[in-house]
Amino acid sequence: MGQQTSTPKITLQDRAIFQLKQQRDKLKQYQRKLNTIIERQNKLAKEAIVKKDTARAKVYLRSKKQQQTTITKTYEQLDNLETLIGTIEFKLIEKDVMYGLAQGNEVLKTLNSEMSVDKIDKVLDDLEEERLKVDEVLDMLGMGSGLSNGEEHEVDEELANLEAEVNGTNKVETGALQDIDMPAVPNTKPESKISGEEEGEKPVKSEPNEPIAA
C-alpha cells in the first residue's frame, strides 16, 4: 500500500487572506468592466456630437464621469485591501519567526543545562578515574607508563614534595646538587709587588737614611 499524502491544514488566517484576495480580484474585474463602459460612453458621446445631438452627448459624458468616480473609489478600496493583506501576511511571517526564536531559546536552555559546569567536571573526573584504572592495568601487565627510570624518580620526588606541602612539613630535597655560589676565578695576571720584576730588572736597594746633623 502506498503512503497517503497528508493534506495541509488550513488555518483561520489562511481563510481570511484567501477571502481578502477574492475581494481584491472582484474589484479588479469590476474596474475592467467600468473601463469598458467608459470607453463605450465616450464613443457614443462622439457619435452624438457628430449628429449634432449635444444633449445626448452630454448625458453620455455625465455617465462616463460617474463611472470614472466609481473607478477611483475602487482603486482606494484596492489599496486598502492590498495593505491589509500585506500586513496580515507579514504578521504571520513575524509570528513564525517569533515561534522559531522561542523554540531555539528552549533548545539553547536544554543544551546549557546539559553542559553545566558540574556535569563537565563530573565527566572529566570520570575520565581521569578511568585513565588511572588503565594505568594500573598496564602496570600490572608490566607495560608501565612509558616513562624512563629518571622520569619515574622525578615523579616520586614531586609526589613526596606535594605530600609534604599538603601536610605542612618540609619539602624533600631532590637528588640534584644545590647550586653553591663560588668566587669567580680571576682572569688577569696579578701585578708584581716590586716594580720592574716583570722586565727582568734587578731591584734597586735603598740606602739607609743618614742621620740628620744637629
Provide, rounded to the nearest whole percent, the portion of the chain with pLDDT above 70: 71
pLDDT in tens, 98-154: 999 999 999 888 888 777 777 778 888 888 888 888 777 777 776 655 666 787 788
Radius of gyration of the chain (CA): 55
Predicted confidence at residue 187, as pLDDT, reads 60
**pLDDT interval class at 196 (50, 70, 90):** very low
Q: Which residues of 53-64 are buried (b: 16+ CB within 10 A; e: fewer)?
A: eeeebeebbebb
Give the pTM.
0.41
Please give the Cα distance from 78 to 70 (Å, whole number): 12
In whole angstroms, how far apart are CA 6 and each of 9, 12, 96? 9, 19, 21
Q: Per mean pLDDT, which range of 7-11, 30-34, 91-95 is the poorest?
A: 7-11
Has residue 172 got a pLDDT over 70? no
Q: Per mean pLDDT, which range of 63-67, 122-126, 199-203 is the poorest?
A: 199-203
Section 200-205 average pLDDT: 50
Predicted confidence at residue 136, as pLDDT, reads 76
Indicate the average pLDDT of the chain: 76
Cell matching residue 191:
701585578
Please give the Cα distance from 198 to 190 (Å, whole number): 11
Has residue 182 got a pLDDT over 80? no
For 195, half-sphere exposure in the C-beta direction (CA atoms, 13 angstrom radius) is 2
For 182, half-sphere exposure in the C-beta direction (CA atoms, 13 angstrom radius) is 5
Q: What is the 3-state secondary structure (H, E, C) of 102-151?
A: HHHHHHHHHHHHHCCHHHHHHHHHHHHHHHHHHHHHHHHCCCCCCCCHHH
